[in-house]
Amino acid sequence: MTGIMTDTSSFDYLLEISRRCDVGTTSLPSARDQLAVSWSGVGFLLGEHYCVAAMDDIAEVLTEPASTRLPGVKPWVRGVANVRGRLLPLIDLTVFLGESRTTEQRQRRVLVIEKGDTYIGLIVDDVFGMQHFPVDQYQVDSVFSSEKLAKYAQGAYQQAERRWALFRPSQLINDSDFYTVAA
């Protein structure tokens, strides 16, 4: 009978396949050797400052929606927008921080913050998407050129020549100055 393998030949065949698979392979590095600890966040631009916020702090990123101006408010309150049936207050974060605008309107994005009862949109100059930083690049004692930004930032990540301020939206929404909107 040709074509029918005996139990011994089946076993030998499997051993031959295993041997072929092992030829030319090297052992894999251990997970500990390969694991690079990193932190990820949403990168964005405020004036000339590169910032990053924790992914958990940003509910979504939108293009700047049409909004309705509110009378008698400070210039950094852009108004309210209807986003999927919800009213989203829009705050121009660059203007709030007293920074100069560095981008055109079409580049601006809205970082939506939704924490408890707070639902607010922060207009920023640009968004760079998810950024990844090795945790050993974090600097707690960072000095910021903007005192207002320093109030809402906690440290920074150094990545090549660029420094990314770690922006904390919770510090912003807990600040009483942020809610003083009457002009």
Task: Report whether 14 contacts 8 (CB < 8 A).
Answer: no
Task: Report whether 93 contacts 173 (CB < 8 A).
Answer: no
Instruction: Report pLDDT for 174.
Output: 93
Length of the chain: 183
Please state, in angstroms and rounded to a whole number, the distance separating the CA atoms of residues 123 and 91. Answer: 6
**pLDDT tens, residue by residue, 14-37:** 778 877 777 666 555 555 555 668
pTM of the entire predicted model = 0.77
Instruction: Report pLDDT for 33.
Output: 53
Residues of the chain with pLDDT under 50: 1
Please state, in angstroms and rounded to a whole number, the distance separating the CA atoms of residues 172 and 169. Answer: 5
What domains sit in the chain, N to C, each tagged with a CATH number? 33-179 (2.40.50.180)
Task: Report whether 44 contacts 127 (CB < 8 A).
Answer: yes
